[in-house]
Structure 1
């Protein structure tokens, strides 16, 4: 390591250069010159949407070696114009948290322990239960013969953590299935 010289002090560099205000190149250290943002080393940049609320702020997700290294606001987003709230700005921690569960877990009725399932098995279980609930609770007509064409066996309570487009698709799915009990927690 080279020995530090007093000639490298910022005030001495300022006096030796034309940087009279001391806000230019004379106050920048060699370490600062060599520092680069971790976003410049990213292999890929992916556009995404913040997962926390229904606002739908745009995010730029920086990926290196198949791992998220930084998440920033997307300046091209017409919704947030590059800004993120504190939760959105910290969403990289959500992705890379050590305690994040990445397996599908299932606990059978009255069982004490959870068991891991593969994704296809879990999706099939949900689909089978959805279809069975619709079939079992289907109502074609009321007592007076008026057409109902609905099911009371399926209800949906959406969350504010999904954006408007996802809520729209959920509403379309449940309406097409005949459900009429569709609500969003943001309204409750």
Structure 2
């Protein structure tokens, strides 16, 4: 038995109407966002991906992220998100996300789990060693053959990311300058 195009469209419309009417009243859906997020704690934040600074609303329940969406009150994105911002939920809720420090010793082919205290201590020690090895107090200027005070290290560079807000960038820059690092760069500028 053949079915005409008209019969197919009529049957599809009837099936769609039946599905729409079969939903329970008061059930959360895309059309009822206030029901979908009812009882959840809402927090506004900024997307960490690029330097645009799009606003987000993050909904949490018992400290766990359950929903992210664009903030319609934010002046930059007015609720719209790019594909990366729209997929932000997957950063917080992803079984592949590393939760512990992984370390692979030089020449080794296996990863070991280490504590955060061990990692922070090792990073601080390596930064201090690098700074001490490459620190220059003064430098000779070849043009006028004078020695000038420079107090810098050429053995390290600091690279910032868009996940930092203005205040964090300010503190990060102050820390880098205090360490004597002169090579500062930020992801937003590249």
In 2, the alpha carbon distance for the partners of 1:130 and 1:78 equals: 40
Q: 1:40 and 2:38 equivalent?
A: yes
> For 1:38 and 1:159, how far apart are their aligned partners in 2?
33
1:49-128 to 2 correspondences below 5 Å: 49-128=46-125
CA contact (8 A) 1:140 1:148 kept: yes
The size of the alignment, in residue pairs, is 160
- CA distance in 2 between counterparts of 1:165 and 1:53 reads 16
Distance 1:46-1:162 versus aligned 2 partners, 3 A rule: same
* Structure 1 residues not aligned, in runs of 5+: 1-27
Distance 2:73 2:121 in 1: 39
Secondary structure of the residue that 1:52 maps to in structure 2? coil
Residue 152 (structure 2) pairs with residue 158 (structure 1): no
Q: Are the aligned partners of 1:160 and 1:186 in contact in 2 as well (CA < 8 Å)?
A: yes
Mind listing any 5+ residue stretches in structure 2 that lack a counterpart? 1-19, 29-34, 141-145
CA deviation vs aligned residue, 1:141-169 (integer Å, no higher than 9, x gap): 11332111111121123334544544343
- Partner Cα distance (1:159, 1:63) in 2: 25
Contact 2:48 2:162 in 1 (8 A): no
129, 132, 135: which one aligns with 1:132: 129
Contact 1:54 1:163 in 2 (8 A): no
Distance 1:168 1:80, change over 3 A: farther
TM-score by length of 1: 0.74
1:184 alignment counterpart: 186
Would the alpha carbon gap of residues 186 and 139 (structure 1) be closer, same or farther in structure 2, given more than 3 Å must change?
same
Aligned-residue RMSD, C-alpha: 2.2
Q: Taking structure 2 as the reference length, what is the TM-score of the superposition?
A: 0.73
CA 1:78/1:52 → structure 2, altered by over 3 Å: closer, same or farther? Answer: same
- Give the match's secondary structure for 2:155: strand
In structure 2, relative to structure 1, the CA distance for the partners of 1:184 and 1:66 (3 Å cut) is: closer
